[in-house]
Amino acid sequence: MTEDFKLPDECADMRDVRIGVDATDRELMALLDRRFGYMRAAARIKQSRDTVRDEERKAAVIAAVVADAQTRNLPGEKIAEIWNLLVETSIAYELAEWDRLRS
């Protein structure tokens, strides 16, 4: 797939849209890879398994994303659901990594 994609307002047909969506999905995967890398770093740095789950931090992250979504005129409630799943998945990943590093 080509990296030459058009921005949404430049798309003239569904081929342009699909190429753009596919390119964006690859970018999102690269960003998720980096985000989960931070979870591996956190698992390495945190001394106690009990500190992996931080409900205050989780709430702050989701609130920030919802506020950002609203400024972009995106569906904040659905974005909150996506981010809740992302954060819960990140926590589970970090716990597994924490255990792996100390086994």
Give Cα 29 to chain centroid, integer Å: 9
- pLDDT value for 2: 52
Query: What is the Cβ-side half-sphere exposure of residue 49, based on CA atoms within 13 angstroms?
Result: 11
Dist. CA 17–CA 88, nearest whole Å: 31
pLDDT digit string, tens, across residues 23-57: 999 999 999 999 999 999 999 999 999 999 999 99
Dist. CA 95–CA 52, nearest whole Å: 7
Note whether residue 78 is domain-resident: yes
Note whether residue 2 is domain-resident: no
pLDDT reading at 16 higher than 70: yes
Note whether residue 47 is domain-resident: yes
Joined together, the tokens standing for residue 67 give 């506020």
Mean pLDDT, to the nearest integer, of 68-81?
Answer: 98
Dist. CA 94–CA 99, nearest whole Å: 9
Confidence of residue 3 (pLDDT cuts 50, 70, 90): low
Mean pLDDT, to the nearest integer, of 52-80?
Answer: 98
Look over the chain and give the mean of its residue pLDDT values, rounded to a whole number: 96
Note whether residue 3 is domain-resident: no
Note whether residue 1 is domain-resident: no
Report whether 83 contacts 28 (CB < 8 A): no
Note whether residue 41 is domain-resident: yes
Domain span holding position 18: 8-102
Nearest to 27 by CA among 51, 57, 7: 7
Q: What's 33's domain CATH number? A: 1.20.59.10
How crowded is residue 60: how many other Cβ atoms within 10 Å of its Cβ?
11
pLDDT reading at 1 higher than 80: no
Confidence of residue 4 (pLDDT cuts 50, 70, 90): confident
Q: What's the domain count of the chain? A: 1
